[in-house]
Amino acid sequence: MEHIKLQIGCFAVLMYVAFIYVRECGRYKVKGKLFAKLLMLGIFSVVLDGMTAFTVNCSELIDTPLNTILHGLFLTGLDSVIFVLFLYMLHITGAMPESRSGKALVFLPFAANVLVVLCNIGSLEYISGRITNYSMGVSAYTCFIMATVYIIMSAFAFFRRWRYIESHKRASIFTYLLVLAVTTAVQMIFPETLISSIAVTIFILGVYLNLENPAIRELSHFHNETVMSFANLIENRDNSTGGHIKRTSRYVELIADELRNRGYYSETLTKDYITNLLKAAPMHDIGKISVPDAVLQKPGRLTDEEFDEMKKHAANGGDIIRETFRNLGDEDFRKMAFEVARYHHEKWNGRGYPEGLKRKNIPLCARIMAVADVFDAVSERRCYREAMPMDKCFEIIEQGSGQDFDPLIADIFLDIRDRVEAVHREFAESNEDQKNI
């Protein structure tokens, strides 16, 4: 037991995390397949680390073939943990390649390493150290080299795409990577320390507490659902806009993601910004709560006076957001929701309302919202007209480019027409299914 105290402690911590994680996933109906794999591999690796630490120090009691098999499993298991950690980093930063060739390049070093480890496992040497016995050889060197490569690649993905991670999570992830790198370096320089279990345990524990805790994820989901429910209450007053907030939110997401993927507004379109934008988008018409029913629900075109009354919803929406969310505590979200509600009817040429802002004086979030809002308005049925054909809807966006809309955002929207139409079909089919129930 003297040589495996550390592994026993790490195993107890990981089993506790596994117990809590499984229980909370069942309670909140949360699924995290990649983290579940990481957790299982971590437990597997720590168990084998303990077993090999025992067998290498009690070689007189253990058959050499069994010792060799256990070391082969441990080294491949440790590499598997580091590899899945790298995949997890690609996942949370959105850097995972989509093409088959790109994915093959990600997996190739891992597959080559496993092959080298297994082919040379029989040549491991068991060395007596001052503190404990340990094993060295081509397989062990290869394992350490691969771990180093994937840790460096994980750090590269983190620093290159840190804007794709929420700001409050960046320091934590950096700390986990630092601990993993330092522990691995110590293990490589002083192989008899046998502390690889610490790196695995601390990283998994940190990821669970800050990224994968089902209770925290459920709280965030509850917050989003509350915002959406509030927006639905407003939408239900307007009989002509059913499903509007959900569709426009999806269009907003498509535009923002494509802008970021193409490198536009890279300093602005961080993970926090897009998260707040998607939470704020459903609130863009909140000001309609102040519009009289006679105007909001009128089954026909509005008169000039009625339209002037309707236009007040933009400014009123901003005021409602500012007052309602004054004590929310999340200043970035409050500001985003205010700008989306107040400025989504401003036009690129300055002829919009309520302030007549021009060009980039209009907040980016409102310029994105404007395109999504107009497209949905013309592509869906209204009480005074039928939905326009898809070609006509995209033609309206094209004609409005540089006039009503930011030309860059309009062009992006036109470029992703296939994805926009896919979302439109998805909602249309969903509505049809509900009618048939």
Residue 395 pLDDT class (50, 70, 90 cuts): very high
- Transcribe 370-388 into DSSP letters: HHHHHHHHHHS-BTTBPPP
- CB-based contacts of 430: which residues, under 8 Å, 6+ apart? none
Tokens 């209204």 identify what position? 382
Residue 394 pLDDT class (50, 70, 90 cuts): very high
CA nearest to 365, candidates 398, 334, 397, 337: 337
Rg of the Cα atoms in the chain: 28
Say if residue 354 is preceded by a cis peptide, omega within 30 of 0. Answer: yes
- How far is 309 from 371, CA to CA, in rounded Å? 22
Residue 230 pLDDT class (50, 70, 90 cuts): low
CA nearest to 411, candidates 367, 380, 378: 367
**79, 147 Cβ separation under 8 angstroms:** yes
Higher pLDDT, 364 or 222: 364
- How far is 153 from 156, CA to CA, in rounded Å? 5
What average pLDDT does the segment 348-371 reach? Answer: 95
415: tokens are 């470029």
- How far is 109 from 89, CA to CA, in rounded Å? 17
- How far is 377 from 383, CA to CA, in rounded Å? 12
**8, 50 Cβ separation under 8 angstroms:** yes
**284, 295 Cβ separation under 8 angstroms:** no
- Residue 224: per-residue pLDDT: 66
pTM of the model: 0.74
CA 52-21-88 angle, 5° bins:
70
Which of 113-122, 124-133, 212-221 is most confident?
A: 113-122
- CB-based contacts of 409: which residues, under 8 Å, 6+ apart? 255, 259, 367, 368, 371
One-letter amino acid of 45: S
Whether the per-residue pLDDT at 264 is higher than 80: the answer is yes
CATH node for 216-436: 1.10.3210.10
Instruction: Provide the mean pLDDT of the chain.
Output: 85
- Tell me the domain boundaries of the chain: 2-212, 216-436
Question: pLDDT per residue over 183-194, tens digit each?
Answer: 888 888 888 777
Question: pLDDT per residue over 28-65, tens digit each?
Answer: 777 767 888 889 999 999 999 999 888 888 867 777 78
- How far is 414 from 409, CA to CA, in rounded Å? 9
Q: How many CB atoms lie within 10 A of CB 363?
A: 20
Q: Give the rounded percent of residues in the chain with a pLDDT score beyond 70.
A: 89
Rounded (to 5) percent helix, strand, coil in the chain = 75, 5, 20
**248, 425 Cβ separation under 8 angstroms:** no
Question: pLDDT per residue over 119-159, tens digit each?
Answer: 999 888 888 877 787 788 899 889 888 888 888 988 988 88
**What fold does the segment set 2-212 form as a domain?**
Rhopdopsin 7-helix transmembrane proteins (1.20.1070)
For residue 210, give the DSSP letter.
I
- How far is 323 from 163, CA to CA, in rounded Å? 30
- Residue 346: per-residue pLDDT: 96
